[in-house]
A = this chain, B = another copy of it.
Amino acid sequence: MVTLRDVARVAGVSLATASRAMSDAPHVSAANREQVARAAESLGYRPHPAARALTTGSTGTVGLVVPDLANPFFAAVAKGVQARARETGRDVLVADTDEDVAVEPDVITRLGDRVDGLVLCSPRLPADALGPLLAAAGGPVALVNRETPDAPSVSFDIADGVRQALDHLRALGHDVVAYAGGPRTSWSDGERRTALGALAGDTVLDLGSFRPTHGGGVQAADLALAAGATAVLCFNDLVALGVLARLHARGVATPADVSVVGFDDVAAASLVTPALTTVAVPLARAGRTAVDLLGAASAPPDHRRLPVELVVRSSTAPAPPTPVQPDPRTTVPRTADPEVVIR
């Protein structure tokens, strides 16, 4: 292994000078700078990351914590984080919590020690547990798809996305829109619900909370049908895909009988038939922005809201003249509580 001492010896200068030359510091003559560069090149010198980290205190690494790497939503964010980090000469240490809230604190503190900054994507931790943890991380932290007063964050203009979706469905003649919600503990589900309440309080039918997966959508579809909804707005694309699949299986035509709108614009959304109308969210950009926020600590913390855009595809159409009748043989389960209107 070749160290800086070797480079210094070959270049005929002291260790200190070699170090300065390598890091483009001032107080090095052009001749020596050249000598050192040449020696380093010929020896194939590569600085030892740990040694550098020990003295400078900076590791050249950013951490990323996501609930599930295999979820296309997080994968897209991860890609953005990775790309931006590489552009700025840093590496990414990634941790997958497997959707388990209990491991989040461990992972955050462990990673916190090893990185220059930490990006937390959609942490599931409740606000009161998150706050103290951010301090314990011991370095800059930026959140994605979650907001808290204690740290900078980048999230999406969910209210505007909900408005665009609602405007679109109303323009198509859907007077009442059913909402297939995500987990109650989800910050972004809360944002959607708040927006729905503010924008269209008494014309939104709450189908309840579902797991943010294909299965959750399947479940929601039956409730939507039972309630006689002509349009379903979904927590995310996976849920929307589940709704689509279930409607198809039950012989309900989309978009002729029921329109479906998703959220996120995951890759699969445009590949399915009918192609999904959905609120596109700049996931990779969010990842990139989060990395940039790590560098720019400010007080009060910076909260970015990235713009979103409704992408109209083939899963939405004008409301049918006579909406599907609620199936008289079915009843809506209590837990879904579809009578409750969001305010």
A93: which of B54, B76, B91 is its contact (CB, 8 Å)? B91
Chain B residues with CB under 8 Å of A109's CB are 46
Q: Is the CB of A82 within 8 A of B53?
A: no
A228 nearest CB across to chain B (Å): 24
A69: which of B46, B51, B78 is its contact (CB, 8 Å)? B78
Q: Is A273 part of the binding interface, using a Cβ–Cβ cutoff of 8 Å?
A: yes
Secondary structure at the A interface, as helix, strand, loop or mixed, is helix
Given contacts A91-B93, A91-B114, contact A59 B50 (CB under 8 A): yes
A interface bracket (residues with beta carbon within 8 Å of B): 35 or more
Given contacts A75-B75, A83-B98, A248-B273, contact A267 B70 (CB under 8 A): yes
> How far is it, in angstroms, between the C-alpha of A216 and the C-alpha of B164 when the chains are bound?
33
Q: Is A110 part of the binding interface, using a Cβ–Cβ cutoff of 8 Å?
A: yes
> How far is it, in angstroms, between the C-alpha of A242 and the C-alpha of B68 when the chains are bound?
26
Q: Is the CB of A46 within 8 A of B113?
A: yes
Q: Is A94 part of the binding interface, using a Cβ–Cβ cutoff of 8 Å?
A: yes
Chain B residues with CB under 8 Å of A93's CB are 61, 91-94
Q: Is the CB of B69 within 8 A of A75?
A: yes
Query: Can you spell out 16 A-B residue pairs with CB atoms less than 8 angstroms apart?
Result: A48-B113, A49-B113, A50-B51, A53-B53, A61-B93, A68-B79, A70-B75, A82-B96, A91-B95, A93-B94, A94-B94, A241-B271, A242-B271, A249-B273, A268-B268, A268-B271
Query: Residues of A at under 8 Å CB distance from B?
Result: 46, 48-51, 53-54, 59, 61, 68-70, 72, 75-76, 78-79, 82-83, 86, 91-96, 98, 109-111, 113-114, 214, 241-242, 245, 248-249, 267-268, 271-273
